[in-house]
Amino acid sequence: MNEVVAVRTARERLLRPTLRELWTFLAIALPVLAALLATMPSVDLAYQLRAGAEILVGQGIPSQDTWTFTAAGLPWLDQQWGAQVVLAAIYAASGWTGLAILRAALVGLVSGLILAAIRARALGMHPRTAALLSLAAFVVMAPALALRPQLLGMALFALTLLILAARRTQPRIMWLLPAVAVAWANVHGSFFLGPVLVGLAWLEDAAGRAPGARRTFLAALAMAGATFVTPFGVGVWRYALGLAMNRQVTAQISEWQPPSFSDVPGLLFWSSVVLAILGSVWLARRPGRTAWPALLGLIAFAGLGAITGRGIAWWPGVAVVTLAGLAGRPAAAASSDAVDRPVRPTPIRRGNRVNAGIGLALVLTGLALLPAWRPLDPALGAPSGLLGQAPSGITGALRSIATSSDRVWNPQVWGSWLEFAVPIPLYAFDARIEVIPSDAWAQHGLVERAQAGWSDVLDAAGVTIVVTDGSPATPLAEALAGSQHWRPAHADNDGGIWVRSER
Protein backbone atom coordinates (compact mmCIF):
# COMPACT_ATOMS: atom_id res chain seq x y z
CA MET A 1 0.00 0.00 0.00
CA ASN A 2 1.41 3.38 -1.03
CA GLU A 3 2.06 6.07 1.54
CA VAL A 4 1.61 9.80 1.32
CA VAL A 5 3.84 11.83 3.59
CA ALA A 6 2.62 15.29 4.49
CA VAL A 7 4.84 17.98 2.98
CA ARG A 8 7.26 19.64 5.39
CA THR A 9 8.00 23.31 4.97
CA ALA A 10 11.44 24.57 4.07
CA ARG A 11 11.74 26.05 7.55
CA GLU A 12 11.07 22.67 9.14
CA ARG A 13 13.59 20.95 6.88
CA LEU A 14 16.21 23.55 7.77
CA LEU A 15 15.66 23.79 11.52
CA ARG A 16 14.62 20.21 12.30
CA PRO A 17 15.79 17.92 9.48
CA THR A 18 14.90 14.26 9.65
CA LEU A 19 17.56 11.58 9.52
CA ARG A 20 16.58 10.89 5.91
CA GLU A 21 17.08 14.56 5.03
CA LEU A 22 20.39 14.60 6.88
CA TRP A 23 21.65 11.68 4.80
CA THR A 24 20.76 13.55 1.64
CA PHE A 25 22.66 16.58 2.89
CA LEU A 26 25.69 14.47 3.84
CA ALA A 27 25.87 12.91 0.38
CA ILE A 28 26.52 16.38 -1.05
CA ALA A 29 28.19 18.22 1.83
CA LEU A 30 30.96 15.71 2.49
CA PRO A 31 32.28 15.80 -1.10
CA VAL A 32 32.12 19.61 -1.00
CA LEU A 33 34.23 19.67 2.17
CA ALA A 34 36.72 17.23 0.65
CA ALA A 35 37.06 19.53 -2.37
CA LEU A 36 37.76 22.52 -0.14
CA LEU A 37 40.39 20.55 1.77
CA ALA A 38 42.30 19.35 -1.29
CA THR A 39 44.98 21.34 -3.08
CA MET A 40 44.20 22.68 -6.54
CA PRO A 41 46.58 21.19 -9.14
CA SER A 42 47.74 23.78 -11.66
CA VAL A 43 48.96 21.38 -14.36
CA ASP A 44 45.71 21.41 -16.38
CA LEU A 45 44.22 24.58 -14.87
CA ALA A 46 46.76 27.35 -15.36
CA TYR A 47 47.00 27.23 -19.15
CA GLN A 48 43.19 27.10 -19.33
CA LEU A 49 43.09 30.37 -17.40
CA ARG A 50 45.56 32.00 -19.77
CA ALA A 51 43.70 30.80 -22.87
CA GLY A 52 40.36 31.91 -21.44
CA ALA A 53 41.73 35.34 -20.58
CA GLU A 54 42.99 35.78 -24.15
CA ILE A 55 39.57 34.81 -25.51
CA LEU A 56 37.80 37.22 -23.16
CA VAL A 57 39.94 40.18 -24.25
CA GLY A 58 39.00 39.57 -27.88
CA GLN A 59 41.89 37.53 -29.26
CA GLY A 60 39.53 34.77 -30.32
CA ILE A 61 39.78 31.01 -29.87
CA PRO A 62 43.44 29.98 -30.30
CA SER A 63 44.15 28.18 -33.55
CA GLN A 64 47.92 27.77 -33.29
CA ASP A 65 50.55 27.64 -30.57
CA THR A 66 52.14 30.93 -29.50
CA TRP A 67 53.37 29.96 -26.02
CA THR A 68 56.17 27.48 -26.71
CA PHE A 69 59.20 27.44 -28.97
CA THR A 70 58.95 23.67 -29.50
CA ALA A 71 55.52 23.92 -31.14
CA ALA A 72 55.45 27.57 -32.26
CA GLY A 73 53.00 28.06 -35.12
CA LEU A 74 51.69 24.50 -35.06
CA PRO A 75 47.89 23.98 -35.14
CA TRP A 76 46.04 23.88 -31.83
CA LEU A 77 42.41 22.77 -31.89
CA ASP A 78 41.28 24.33 -28.62
CA GLN A 79 38.15 22.21 -28.10
CA GLN A 80 37.92 23.20 -24.41
CA TRP A 81 37.47 26.90 -25.17
CA GLY A 82 34.06 27.10 -23.46
CA ALA A 83 35.43 25.82 -20.17
CA GLN A 84 38.38 28.19 -20.47
CA VAL A 85 36.05 31.17 -20.77
CA VAL A 86 34.07 30.08 -17.69
CA LEU A 87 37.20 29.50 -15.61
CA ALA A 88 38.88 32.74 -16.68
CA ALA A 89 35.74 34.80 -16.08
CA ILE A 90 35.35 33.45 -12.53
CA TYR A 91 39.05 34.00 -11.84
CA ALA A 92 38.83 37.59 -13.11
CA ALA A 93 35.79 38.25 -10.91
CA SER A 94 36.76 36.47 -7.68
CA GLY A 95 40.35 35.18 -7.91
CA TRP A 96 41.58 31.90 -6.52
CA THR A 97 38.93 31.80 -3.81
CA GLY A 98 36.26 31.96 -6.49
CA LEU A 99 37.86 29.05 -8.33
CA ALA A 100 38.06 27.05 -5.11
CA ILE A 101 34.36 27.66 -4.50
CA LEU A 102 33.61 26.72 -8.11
CA ARG A 103 35.43 23.42 -7.73
CA ALA A 104 33.59 22.64 -4.48
CA ALA A 105 30.27 23.56 -6.09
CA LEU A 106 30.93 21.38 -9.14
CA VAL A 107 31.96 18.44 -6.95
CA GLY A 108 28.78 18.88 -4.91
CA LEU A 109 26.75 19.15 -8.12
CA VAL A 110 28.21 15.93 -9.51
CA SER A 111 27.46 14.12 -6.25
CA GLY A 112 23.95 15.58 -6.04
CA LEU A 113 23.09 14.64 -9.62
CA ILE A 114 24.33 11.08 -9.10
CA LEU A 115 22.29 10.86 -5.90
CA ALA A 116 19.19 12.09 -7.75
CA ALA A 117 19.81 9.58 -10.54
CA ILE A 118 20.07 6.75 -8.00
CA ARG A 119 16.75 7.74 -6.48
CA ALA A 120 15.10 8.05 -9.88
CA ARG A 121 16.30 4.59 -10.86
CA ALA A 122 15.41 2.94 -7.55
CA LEU A 123 12.07 4.34 -6.50
CA GLY A 124 11.52 3.73 -2.84
CA MET A 125 15.18 3.18 -1.97
CA HIS A 126 15.99 4.36 1.55
CA PRO A 127 17.75 7.76 1.46
CA ARG A 128 20.58 6.36 3.57
CA THR A 129 21.26 3.61 1.04
CA ALA A 130 21.14 6.07 -1.86
CA ALA A 131 23.46 8.45 0.00
CA LEU A 132 25.96 5.71 0.77
CA LEU A 133 26.00 4.64 -2.89
CA SER A 134 26.59 8.24 -3.94
CA LEU A 135 29.41 8.66 -1.41
CA ALA A 136 30.97 5.39 -2.59
CA ALA A 137 30.98 6.77 -6.14
CA PHE A 138 32.64 9.96 -4.88
CA VAL A 139 35.43 8.03 -3.13
CA VAL A 140 36.30 6.16 -6.33
CA MET A 141 36.15 9.22 -8.60
CA ALA A 142 37.83 11.62 -6.15
CA PRO A 143 41.26 11.55 -7.89
CA ALA A 144 39.59 12.87 -11.06
CA LEU A 145 37.91 15.86 -9.40
CA ALA A 146 40.58 18.49 -10.00
CA LEU A 147 39.39 21.85 -11.31
CA ARG A 148 39.77 21.63 -15.07
CA PRO A 149 37.43 21.30 -18.07
CA GLN A 150 36.94 17.60 -17.29
CA LEU A 151 35.10 18.55 -14.08
CA LEU A 152 32.55 20.47 -16.14
CA GLY A 153 32.28 17.43 -18.38
CA MET A 154 31.68 15.23 -15.33
CA ALA A 155 28.80 17.48 -14.24
CA LEU A 156 27.21 17.15 -17.69
CA PHE A 157 27.82 13.39 -17.59
CA ALA A 158 26.03 13.16 -14.22
CA LEU A 159 23.19 15.31 -15.58
CA THR A 160 22.82 12.89 -18.49
CA LEU A 161 22.64 9.99 -16.04
CA LEU A 162 19.84 11.77 -14.16
CA ILE A 163 17.88 12.56 -17.32
CA LEU A 164 18.09 8.94 -18.44
CA ALA A 165 17.17 7.66 -14.98
CA ALA A 166 14.02 9.83 -15.00
CA ARG A 167 12.97 9.10 -18.60
CA ARG A 168 10.20 6.64 -17.67
CA THR A 169 8.39 8.99 -15.28
CA GLN A 170 9.26 12.26 -17.06
CA PRO A 171 9.66 11.37 -20.74
CA ARG A 172 9.79 14.96 -22.01
CA ILE A 173 12.99 15.56 -20.08
CA MET A 174 14.81 13.56 -22.75
CA TRP A 175 14.69 16.53 -25.11
CA LEU A 176 17.11 18.38 -22.86
CA LEU A 177 19.86 16.03 -24.03
CA PRO A 178 20.75 17.92 -27.25
CA ALA A 179 21.30 21.10 -25.21
CA VAL A 180 23.50 19.13 -22.82
CA ALA A 181 25.48 17.84 -25.81
CA VAL A 182 26.07 21.33 -27.21
CA ALA A 183 27.47 22.56 -23.90
CA TRP A 184 29.51 19.39 -23.41
CA ALA A 185 31.10 19.45 -26.86
CA ASN A 186 32.38 22.97 -26.19
CA VAL A 187 33.95 22.33 -22.78
CA HIS A 188 35.58 18.88 -22.81
CA GLY A 189 36.51 16.03 -25.14
CA SER A 190 34.50 13.48 -23.15
CA PHE A 191 31.32 14.65 -24.92
CA PHE A 192 31.17 11.44 -26.97
CA LEU A 193 30.18 9.56 -23.81
CA GLY A 194 26.77 11.28 -23.87
CA PRO A 195 25.49 9.49 -26.99
CA VAL A 196 27.04 6.28 -25.63
CA LEU A 197 24.95 6.56 -22.45
CA VAL A 198 21.78 7.26 -24.40
CA GLY A 199 22.51 4.39 -26.77
CA LEU A 200 22.83 2.01 -23.82
CA ALA A 201 19.55 3.36 -22.43
CA TRP A 202 17.88 2.63 -25.78
CA LEU A 203 19.16 -0.95 -25.68
CA GLU A 204 17.61 -1.29 -22.23
CA ASP A 205 14.28 0.10 -23.44
CA ALA A 206 14.28 -2.05 -26.57
CA ALA A 207 15.14 -5.23 -24.65
CA GLY A 208 12.41 -4.52 -22.08
CA ARG A 209 9.90 -3.47 -24.77
CA ALA A 210 9.44 -0.13 -23.02
CA PRO A 211 6.92 2.26 -24.65
CA GLY A 212 9.52 5.03 -24.84
CA ALA A 213 12.15 3.06 -26.78
CA ARG A 214 11.58 5.05 -29.97
CA ARG A 215 11.91 8.33 -28.09
CA THR A 216 15.18 7.20 -26.52
CA PHE A 217 16.55 6.20 -29.94
CA LEU A 218 15.65 9.58 -31.43
CA ALA A 219 17.19 11.34 -28.42
CA ALA A 220 20.43 9.42 -28.98
CA LEU A 221 20.53 10.58 -32.61
CA ALA A 222 19.70 14.15 -31.62
CA MET A 223 22.39 14.18 -28.94
CA ALA A 224 25.01 12.82 -31.33
CA GLY A 225 24.07 15.44 -33.93
CA ALA A 226 24.20 18.25 -31.38
CA THR A 227 27.86 17.52 -30.64
CA PHE A 228 28.74 19.08 -34.00
CA VAL A 229 27.47 22.49 -32.84
CA THR A 230 30.91 23.88 -32.08
CA PRO A 231 33.33 26.23 -33.87
CA PHE A 232 35.09 23.10 -35.17
CA GLY A 233 32.21 20.97 -36.47
CA VAL A 234 33.29 17.41 -37.11
CA GLY A 235 36.76 18.40 -35.93
CA VAL A 236 35.74 17.89 -32.30
CA TRP A 237 35.30 14.18 -32.97
CA ARG A 238 38.69 13.97 -34.68
CA TYR A 239 40.18 15.74 -31.67
CA ALA A 240 38.53 13.50 -29.06
CA LEU A 241 39.27 10.22 -30.82
CA GLY A 242 42.74 11.33 -31.88
CA LEU A 243 43.65 12.30 -28.33
CA ALA A 244 42.51 8.93 -27.00
CA MET A 245 44.68 7.11 -29.55
CA ASN A 246 47.70 9.42 -29.32
CA ARG A 247 50.61 7.29 -28.12
CA GLN A 248 52.55 10.36 -27.07
CA VAL A 249 49.76 11.32 -24.67
CA THR A 250 49.47 7.85 -23.17
CA ALA A 251 53.24 7.63 -22.77
CA GLN A 252 53.76 11.07 -21.19
CA ILE A 253 50.73 11.34 -18.86
CA SER A 254 50.34 8.80 -16.07
CA GLU A 255 46.55 9.21 -15.78
CA TRP A 256 46.19 8.11 -19.41
CA GLN A 257 47.83 4.82 -18.52
CA PRO A 258 45.95 1.79 -17.11
CA PRO A 259 45.21 1.99 -13.36
CA SER A 260 47.48 -0.10 -11.17
CA PHE A 261 46.80 -2.26 -8.13
CA SER A 262 49.84 -0.66 -6.50
CA ASP A 263 48.26 2.74 -5.78
CA VAL A 264 45.12 3.77 -3.92
CA PRO A 265 43.11 5.10 -6.92
CA GLY A 266 43.80 1.94 -8.91
CA LEU A 267 42.99 -0.33 -5.99
CA LEU A 268 39.71 1.49 -5.36
CA PHE A 269 38.78 1.24 -9.02
CA TRP A 270 39.48 -2.47 -9.39
CA SER A 271 37.74 -3.24 -6.09
CA SER A 272 34.68 -1.30 -7.21
CA VAL A 273 34.62 -3.16 -10.53
CA VAL A 274 34.63 -6.53 -8.79
CA LEU A 275 31.91 -5.48 -6.34
CA ALA A 276 29.74 -3.92 -9.05
CA ILE A 277 29.95 -6.92 -11.37
CA LEU A 278 29.21 -9.38 -8.56
CA GLY A 279 26.36 -7.22 -7.28
CA SER A 280 24.80 -6.78 -10.72
CA VAL A 281 24.97 -10.50 -11.46
CA TRP A 282 23.28 -11.29 -8.14
CA LEU A 283 20.58 -8.64 -8.62
CA ALA A 284 19.97 -9.74 -12.20
CA ARG A 285 18.70 -13.09 -10.92
CA ARG A 286 15.57 -11.41 -9.55
CA PRO A 287 12.44 -12.19 -11.58
CA GLY A 288 11.23 -9.71 -14.15
CA ARG A 289 14.69 -8.29 -14.90
CA THR A 290 16.21 -7.77 -18.34
CA ALA A 291 19.74 -7.30 -17.16
CA TRP A 292 22.01 -7.79 -20.15
CA PRO A 293 21.92 -4.09 -21.26
CA ALA A 294 22.89 -3.07 -17.71
CA LEU A 295 25.73 -5.58 -17.67
CA LEU A 296 26.86 -4.34 -21.09
CA GLY A 297 27.03 -0.77 -19.77
CA LEU A 298 29.02 -1.85 -16.72
CA ILE A 299 31.47 -3.79 -18.86
CA ALA A 300 31.87 -0.88 -21.31
CA PHE A 301 32.67 1.71 -18.64
CA ALA A 302 34.75 -0.67 -16.56
CA GLY A 303 36.72 -1.37 -19.72
CA LEU A 304 37.21 2.35 -20.30
CA GLY A 305 38.60 2.71 -16.80
CA ALA A 306 40.81 -0.35 -17.24
CA ILE A 307 42.37 1.07 -20.41
CA THR A 308 43.14 4.52 -19.05
CA GLY A 309 43.08 6.09 -15.61
CA ARG A 310 41.12 8.98 -17.12
CA GLY A 311 38.25 6.55 -17.59
CA ILE A 312 37.87 6.13 -13.82
CA ALA A 313 36.07 9.49 -13.77
CA TRP A 314 33.04 8.04 -15.57
CA TRP A 315 32.84 4.55 -14.12
CA PRO A 316 31.53 5.18 -10.55
CA GLY A 317 28.42 7.10 -11.60
CA VAL A 318 27.44 4.45 -14.12
CA ALA A 319 28.11 1.67 -11.61
CA VAL A 320 25.99 2.99 -8.74
CA VAL A 321 23.09 4.13 -10.93
CA THR A 322 23.06 0.77 -12.71
CA LEU A 323 23.09 -1.15 -9.43
CA ALA A 324 20.30 1.06 -8.13
CA GLY A 325 18.25 0.30 -11.21
CA LEU A 326 18.71 -3.43 -10.77
CA ALA A 327 17.91 -3.25 -7.06
CA GLY A 328 14.88 -0.95 -7.18
CA ARG A 329 11.43 -1.31 -8.60
CA PRO A 330 11.11 -0.43 -12.28
CA ALA A 331 9.41 2.91 -12.85
CA ALA A 332 6.61 1.25 -14.80
CA ALA A 333 5.86 -1.08 -11.91
CA ALA A 334 5.90 1.80 -9.47
CA SER A 335 3.46 3.74 -11.64
CA SER A 336 1.19 0.71 -11.83
CA ASP A 337 1.27 0.37 -8.05
CA ALA A 338 0.24 3.98 -7.70
CA VAL A 339 -2.91 3.27 -9.76
CA ASP A 340 -3.85 -0.16 -8.43
CA ARG A 341 -3.20 0.24 -4.74
CA PRO A 342 -5.04 2.49 -2.33
CA VAL A 343 -3.27 5.48 -0.84
CA ARG A 344 -2.80 5.75 2.90
CA PRO A 345 -1.61 8.94 4.55
CA THR A 346 1.14 8.61 7.11
CA PRO A 347 2.17 10.91 9.90
CA ILE A 348 4.77 13.59 9.32
CA ARG A 349 8.29 12.39 10.09
CA ARG A 350 9.70 14.58 12.80
CA GLY A 351 13.24 15.80 12.70
CA ASN A 352 15.36 17.06 15.52
CA ARG A 353 17.81 19.84 16.27
CA VAL A 354 20.73 17.43 16.60
CA ASN A 355 20.51 16.78 12.87
CA ALA A 356 20.36 20.52 12.28
CA GLY A 357 23.44 20.96 14.47
CA ILE A 358 25.36 18.42 12.41
CA GLY A 359 24.43 20.22 9.22
CA LEU A 360 25.35 23.62 10.67
CA ALA A 361 28.71 22.29 11.86
CA LEU A 362 29.52 21.09 8.35
CA VAL A 363 28.50 24.42 6.82
CA LEU A 364 30.69 26.33 9.27
CA THR A 365 33.56 23.95 8.56
CA GLY A 366 33.19 24.65 4.86
CA LEU A 367 33.29 28.40 5.45
CA ALA A 368 36.40 28.01 7.62
CA LEU A 369 38.12 26.04 4.84
CA LEU A 370 37.72 28.77 2.25
CA PRO A 371 41.16 29.86 1.01
CA ALA A 372 40.24 33.51 1.53
CA TRP A 373 41.32 33.16 5.16
CA ARG A 374 44.81 31.89 4.31
CA PRO A 375 47.84 34.18 4.03
CA LEU A 376 48.76 35.20 0.51
CA ASP A 377 51.84 33.78 -1.16
CA PRO A 378 53.22 36.92 -2.86
CA ALA A 379 55.20 35.02 -5.50
CA LEU A 380 52.19 32.96 -6.59
CA GLY A 381 49.56 35.60 -5.96
CA ALA A 382 47.45 32.83 -4.43
CA PRO A 383 46.52 31.69 -0.90
CA SER A 384 49.31 29.64 0.66
CA GLY A 385 48.97 25.91 0.21
CA LEU A 386 46.12 26.15 -2.31
CA LEU A 387 47.96 25.40 -5.55
CA GLY A 388 49.84 22.28 -6.52
CA GLN A 389 52.63 22.07 -9.13
CA ALA A 390 53.26 25.80 -8.62
CA PRO A 391 56.76 26.37 -7.12
CA SER A 392 56.72 29.66 -5.26
CA GLY A 393 60.44 30.43 -5.18
CA ILE A 394 61.00 29.42 -8.79
CA THR A 395 58.06 31.56 -9.91
CA GLY A 396 59.20 34.66 -8.06
CA ALA A 397 62.80 34.36 -9.23
CA LEU A 398 61.89 33.65 -12.85
CA ARG A 399 59.60 36.67 -12.88
CA SER A 400 62.59 38.89 -12.05
CA ILE A 401 64.98 37.14 -14.46
CA ALA A 402 63.07 36.34 -17.65
CA THR A 403 62.60 38.74 -20.56
CA SER A 404 60.56 38.54 -23.76
CA SER A 405 63.62 37.37 -25.69
CA ASP A 406 64.27 34.35 -23.44
CA ARG A 407 63.55 30.71 -24.19
CA VAL A 408 62.99 28.62 -21.07
CA TRP A 409 63.63 24.88 -20.92
CA ASN A 410 61.30 23.73 -18.15
CA PRO A 411 59.94 20.61 -16.44
CA GLN A 412 56.68 19.66 -18.15
CA VAL A 413 54.74 19.49 -14.88
CA TRP A 414 55.44 23.18 -14.24
CA GLY A 415 54.97 24.36 -17.81
CA SER A 416 51.33 25.41 -17.63
CA TRP A 417 51.82 27.26 -14.36
CA LEU A 418 54.90 29.15 -15.55
CA GLU A 419 53.15 30.10 -18.81
CA PHE A 420 50.35 31.60 -16.75
CA ALA A 421 52.33 33.20 -13.94
CA VAL A 422 55.33 34.42 -16.00
CA PRO A 423 53.99 34.71 -19.57
CA ILE A 424 56.78 36.92 -20.92
CA PRO A 425 59.22 34.29 -22.33
CA LEU A 426 58.59 31.24 -24.50
CA TYR A 427 58.66 27.82 -22.85
CA ALA A 428 59.57 24.36 -24.03
CA PHE A 429 56.76 22.22 -22.60
CA ASP A 430 53.33 22.41 -21.01
CA ALA A 431 50.27 20.23 -20.45
CA ARG A 432 49.15 20.27 -24.09
CA ILE A 433 50.92 17.02 -24.86
CA GLU A 434 49.11 16.60 -28.18
CA VAL A 435 50.31 19.98 -29.51
CA ILE A 436 54.04 19.59 -28.92
CA PRO A 437 55.69 17.32 -31.53
CA SER A 438 57.06 13.91 -30.61
CA ASP A 439 60.67 14.77 -31.47
CA ALA A 440 60.56 17.56 -28.87
CA TRP A 441 59.41 15.05 -26.25
CA ALA A 442 62.27 12.76 -27.21
CA GLN A 443 64.68 15.67 -26.68
CA HIS A 444 62.97 16.39 -23.36
CA GLY A 445 63.89 12.94 -22.09
CA LEU A 446 67.44 13.21 -23.39
CA VAL A 447 68.04 16.57 -21.67
CA GLU A 448 66.38 15.58 -18.39
CA ARG A 449 68.68 12.55 -18.18
CA ALA A 450 71.69 14.66 -19.29
CA GLN A 451 72.57 12.09 -21.92
CA ALA A 452 75.09 12.60 -24.67
CA GLY A 453 74.15 15.64 -26.77
CA TRP A 454 72.02 17.36 -24.12
CA SER A 455 73.94 20.62 -24.44
CA ASP A 456 73.63 20.53 -28.24
CA VAL A 457 69.84 20.27 -27.93
CA LEU A 458 69.73 23.39 -25.77
CA ASP A 459 72.08 25.25 -28.10
CA ALA A 460 70.10 24.33 -31.22
CA ALA A 461 66.84 25.48 -29.60
CA GLY A 462 68.35 28.78 -28.51
CA VAL A 463 67.57 28.11 -24.85
CA THR A 464 68.73 30.89 -22.53
CA ILE A 465 67.21 29.72 -19.22
CA VAL A 466 66.86 26.21 -17.79
CA VAL A 467 64.53 25.43 -14.90
CA THR A 468 65.27 22.19 -13.05
CA ASP A 469 63.08 20.44 -10.50
CA GLY A 470 64.21 18.37 -7.56
CA SER A 471 67.51 18.31 -5.77
CA PRO A 472 70.87 19.56 -7.10
CA ALA A 473 71.81 15.90 -7.52
CA THR A 474 69.54 15.30 -10.52
CA PRO A 475 71.45 14.45 -13.73
CA LEU A 476 70.52 17.70 -15.47
CA ALA A 477 71.35 19.91 -12.47
CA GLU A 478 74.73 18.24 -12.07
CA ALA A 479 75.46 18.59 -15.78
CA LEU A 480 74.57 22.30 -15.72
CA ALA A 481 76.74 22.84 -12.64
CA GLY A 482 79.68 21.24 -14.40
CA SER A 483 79.27 23.28 -17.59
CA GLN A 484 81.02 26.58 -18.17
CA HIS A 485 78.13 27.74 -20.37
CA TRP A 486 75.61 27.92 -17.52
CA ARG A 487 75.52 29.76 -14.20
CA PRO A 488 73.08 29.29 -11.30
CA ALA A 489 70.60 32.13 -10.76
CA HIS A 490 68.33 30.64 -8.11
CA ALA A 491 68.03 27.49 -5.99
CA ASP A 492 65.57 26.30 -3.37
CA ASN A 493 63.94 23.09 -2.20
CA ASP A 494 61.78 22.86 -5.33
CA GLY A 495 64.58 23.18 -7.85
CA GLY A 496 66.81 25.72 -9.55
CA ILE A 497 67.13 28.27 -12.34
CA TRP A 498 70.19 28.34 -14.62
CA VAL A 499 71.05 31.15 -16.99
CA ARG A 500 73.34 30.95 -20.01
CA SER A 501 76.67 32.51 -19.08
CA GLU A 502 76.87 34.78 -22.12
CA ARG A 503 73.31 36.05 -21.66
Query: 431-471 pLDDT, tens per residue?
Result: 998 899 999 999 999 999 999 999 999 999 999 999 999 88
C-alpha distance from residue 499 to each of 140, 415, 490 (Å):
44, 17, 9
Region 471-484: what's the mean pLDDT?
A: 94
Least confident range of 7-21, 128-142, 312-326, 481-495: 7-21
Query: 238-264 pLDDT, tens per residue?
Result: 888 877 666 766 666 666 678 888 888
The domain locations on the chain are 18-338, 389-500
Q: How far is Cα 181 from Cα 303, in angstroms, rounded to an integer?
A: 23
pLDDT of 39 above 50: yes
Q: Are 131 and 26 within 8 A, CB to CB?
A: yes
Least confident range of 125-134, 286-295, 439-448, 490-499: 286-295
Instruction: Place 376 in a pLDDT band, splitting at 50, 70 and 90.
Output: very high
Query: 198-244 pLDDT, tens per residue?
Result: 999 999 999 888 889 999 999 999 999 999 999 999 999 988 887 76
The pTM score is: 0.92
Task: Provide the pLDDT for residue 253.
Answer: 67
Q: Are 67 and 430 within 8 A, CB to CB?
A: yes
Region 23-37: what's the mean pLDDT?
A: 97
pLDDT of 1 above 70: no
Q: How far is Cα 49 from Cα 416, in angstroms, rounded to an integer?
A: 10
Q: How far is Cα 219 from Cα 225, in angstroms, rounded to an integer?
A: 10
Instruction: Place 333 in a pLDDT band, splitting at 50, 70 and 90.
Output: very low
Q: How many CB atoms lie within 10 A of CB 234?
A: 10
Q: What is the DSSP letter of 349?
A: P
Task: Provide the pLDDT for residue 290.
Answer: 63
Task: Provide the pLDDT for residue 252.
Answer: 66
Task: Provide the pLDDT for residue 353.
Answer: 85
pLDDT of 335 above 90: no
Angle made by CA atoms 433, 157, 120, in degrees to the nearest 5: 165
Instruction: Place 274 in a pLDDT band, splitting at 50, 70 and 90.
Output: very high
